[in-house]
Chain A
């Protein structure tokens, strides 16, 4: 077994031993979708939404929520904990780079978020008859960018905070606005015009629009994809620039 595979295997086992993180990433977005779907009016076509139902809007929102839970909520304390507890330092005295540990955790959170997204789409389809994404390549592209943005945001939070405590505080301070921007408290499409324009310039607002457009079967707006990609690039740069190994 190669060294990187051994690291990934060990981190996968550890990831499986974190029931709370797994709940928030994998189960919570689908549960939230199911709860929203139980509200009768959310299952009625709304002329104000061009005949779509609120629940149709909420599937992409909860897909994005899975990314945010993995990247912004679960990931940062893991990364800064590895630093604070000297695990990265210990690893740096072996032939393996400590970055491999962080990479393994990022990959695993990414995989869990994708699994959760799949579950959300499946619950939407099976329980509430929400159509599967109409334009799959665009949907996947938007999803990928959204996921990268969320993971990069989490890494940046871990990078700029010195301790696990600080990471957790900053992580939750960032979490709620990001959930709002993604449309968890009301899909971006239903927001007042001015608010929507602002939100569309923010990382998950733009991703939310792109996902919904692709779900409906259209091509996602390049502006929305571009905004998401730009935020992702900035956040990755910030994480790399400010991350301290000890």
Chain B
């Protein structure tokens, strides 16, 4: 039982804090001053192109690498000096690691469960990840997707408070990917904080509460998926075919519209939610019917490309 005051303090404390992190390999900076915090219960995404420093950053969080400069704390622990406690707090799925070739799925689950003081029930995890039919299969004979699912199970087997998933759904087919996403949401609903490294926009958009976009070892942007999309030009796309032509001045007077295009009797407007509302009321006022009216968000894909665009090239 904890007293009220310290508990309130604990809740206010972010579970992952990375500040001023730097790490260079052979003089070339891989991570160059990265700062972010992750709140407990969040799904936090790290998005970026290859070589942007994503994996190096999470390796510092996992305690696998010593930062050259800066500080990392996970649940108040220093990943390098508090390894013992960290490993009981943090579950990890590494991007490149394997298991013993001839170890069966069941043996792997049993082994890793035995390493933790209060492990999850491995049978339940295996079932949730669709591994029940593969329990007697050796690791070396699993497909890429099955290996990936086994690694997700192993990341969760110690009942971690924080789980780091690096390239979570790489190698999974679309169906398995969607199943995995629901699993991650369930895990979060159980109170686990998730740090997710990915380069699938759809995955980040669907799962993450907030996303740090990495570019050349730095955080280029940090926001909610919706926030990142809004930063791009034309966050909302409104398109329709009006029942009769719209007045040019009416269109020009739309608030916050970035672009207005008319082609073959079809109107496409890039703007914001305000623009969308104005379009709807304009149509009502003029008693114009909008055929095939679509109001969509521009995707995270667009925003990501814009954010990571290399202006030097």
A binding-site residues for B, Cβ under 8 Å: 1-3, 5-7, 10, 13-14, 17-18, 82, 85-87, 89-90, 92-96
Tell me the minimal C-beta distance from A103 to chain B in angstroms: 15
| Chain A residue at smallest Cβ distance from B110 | A6
A95 / chain B contacts, CB cutoff of 8 Å: 84, 87-88, 115-117, 158
Contact B84 A90, beta carbon cutoff 8 Å: no
Contact B94 A3, beta carbon cutoff 8 Å: no
Of A3, A14, A82, A87, the residue contacting B115 (CB under 8 A) is A3
| Contact flag A93-B87 (CB < 8 Å), given A14-B100, A86-B98 | yes
Tell me the minimal C-beta distance from A146 to chain B in angstroms: 28
| A5-B84 Cα distance, complex, nearest whole Å | 19
Of B88, B96, B102, B114, the residue contacting A6 (CB under 8 A) is B114
Contacts A1-B114, A87-B100 known; list 12 others, CB within 8 Å: A5-B114, A7-B111, A10-B110, A85-B98, A85-B101, A87-B97, A89-B97, A90-B98, A90-B154, A93-B62, A95-B87, A95-B116
| Contact flag A13-B107 (CB < 8 Å), given A86-B98, A89-B97, A94-B158 | yes
A5 / chain B contacts, CB cutoff of 8 Å: 114
Contact B107 A87, beta carbon cutoff 8 Å: no
B63 / chain A contacts, CB cutoff of 8 Å: 93
Contact B84 A86, beta carbon cutoff 8 Å: no
Contact B64 A6, beta carbon cutoff 8 Å: no
Can you report 18 A-B residue pairs in the complex whose CB atoms are below 8 A from each other? A3-B114, A6-B110, A6-B114, A10-B107, A10-B110, A13-B107, A14-B103, A18-B102, A87-B98, A89-B97, A90-B94, A90-B98, A93-B62, A93-B63, A93-B94, A94-B116, A94-B158, A95-B84
B107 / chain A contacts, CB cutoff of 8 Å: 10, 13
B binding-site residues for A, Cβ under 8 Å: 62-64, 84, 87-88, 90, 92, 94, 96-103, 107, 110-112, 114-117, 154, 158
| A85-B102 Cα distance, complex, nearest whole Å | 13
Q: Which of A17, A18, A82: most chain B Cβ within 10 A?
A: A17
B158 / chain A contacts, CB cutoff of 8 Å: 94-95
B112 / chain A contacts, CB cutoff of 8 Å: 94
Tell me the minimal C-beta distance from A75 to chain B in angstroms: 15
| Chain B residue at smallest Cβ distance from A85 | B98
| A13-B100 Cα distance, complex, nearest whole Å | 11
Of B87, B94, B97, B102, the residue contacting A14 (CB under 8 A) is B102
| Chain A residue at smallest Cβ distance from B63 | A93
Contact A6 B98, beta carbon cutoff 8 Å: no
Q: Which of B102, B110, B114: most chain A Cβ within 10 A?
A: B114
| Chain A residue at smallest Cβ distance from B85 | A95
Contact B115 A96, beta carbon cutoff 8 Å: yes
| A13-B111 Cα distance, complex, nearest whole Å | 12
Of A6, A7, A85, A93, the residue contacting B92 (CB under 8 A) is A93
| A18-B103 Cα distance, complex, nearest whole Å | 12
Q: Which of B92, B94, B111, B117: most chain A Cβ within 10 A?
A: B111
Tell me the minimal C-beta distance from A18 to chain B in angstroms: 8
Tell me the minimal C-beta distance from A164 to chain B in angstroms: 12
A13 / chain B contacts, CB cutoff of 8 Å: 103, 107
Tell me the minimal C-beta distance from A98 to chain B in angstroms: 11
Contact B99 A87, beta carbon cutoff 8 Å: yes
| Chain A residue at smallest Cβ distance from B98 | A85
Tell me the minimal C-beta distance from A102 to chain B in angstroms: 13
Contact A94 B97, beta carbon cutoff 8 Å: no
Tell me the minimal C-beta distance from B1 to chain A in angstroms: 26
A10 / chain B contacts, CB cutoff of 8 Å: 100, 103, 107, 110-111
| Chain B residue at smallest Cβ distance from A2 | B114
B94 / chain A contacts, CB cutoff of 8 Å: 86, 89-90, 93
A3 / chain B contacts, CB cutoff of 8 Å: 114-115
Of B87, B97, B111, the residue contacting A86 (CB under 8 A) is B97
Tell me the minimal C-beta distance from B55 to chain A in angstroms: 12
A86 / chain B contacts, CB cutoff of 8 Å: 94, 96-98
A93 / chain B contacts, CB cutoff of 8 Å: 62-64, 87, 90, 92, 94
Contact A6 B115, beta carbon cutoff 8 Å: yes
| A86-B98 Cα distance, complex, nearest whole Å | 6
| Chain B residue at smallest Cβ distance from A88 | B97
| Chain B residue at smallest Cβ distance from A11 | B100
| A1-B115 Cα distance, complex, nearest whole Å | 10
Tell me the minimal C-beta distance from A188 to chain B in angstroms: 38
| Chain A residue at smallest Cβ distance from B117 | A95
| A237-B249 Cα distance, complex, nearest whole Å | 84
A96 / chain B contacts, CB cutoff of 8 Å: 115
